Amino acid sequence: MGRKKTVFEWQRDAPEEEEQEGRASRGNAKREEQVRKELVKQLLSLSARERGRLPLSEVVLEALDEVSRMQGQKRRHSSHRRQMLHIAGLLRYEELEPVRAALAKKR
C-alpha cells in the first residue's frame, strides 16, 4: 500500500495554469452566450426584409421567422423562449462580426 498524499503534494501535481484557464473559459462562455441572446432580441426587432439582408445562414433566418410567427404566443407558452435559446445556439456557429457591423449601420 502506498502512502497517502498530503494536501501540498496534491496541489503540486495539478498545474495551476490549467485550472485558471478552465475557470476563465467557463465565464467567457457564459458572457458570450448572453451576448448571443441579446443579439437574438435585436434581430427579432427587425422586419423580415431587414433580416434577409443580413449575412446569416438560411437555418438562422428560418428559425427567426418561426419566432416571429410565435410572437402572439410568447406569454402563454415556453416554446417562444426555447426557440430563442435555439437561435442563440445556432448563432454559435455563425460569424457574428459582419452581423454586428450591419446592425450598427442600420442604427
The model's pLDDT over 9-63, given as tens digits with 9 standing for 90+, comes to 555 555 555 555 555 688 898 999 999 999 999 999 999 999 999 999 999 999 9
C-alpha span between 61 and 66 (Å, rounded): 9
- 8 Å CB contact between 57 and 34: no
Residue 79 has what pLDDT?
83
Which of 58 and 76 is assigned the larger pLDDT? 58
**For residue 100, what pLDDT band results from cuts at 50, 70 and 90?**
very high
Global confidence as pTM = 0.71
Strands (E) located in 5-89: none
Report which of 29, 41, 46 is spatially closest to residue 84, judged by C-alpha positions: 41
Q: First-to-last CA distance in the chain?
A: 70
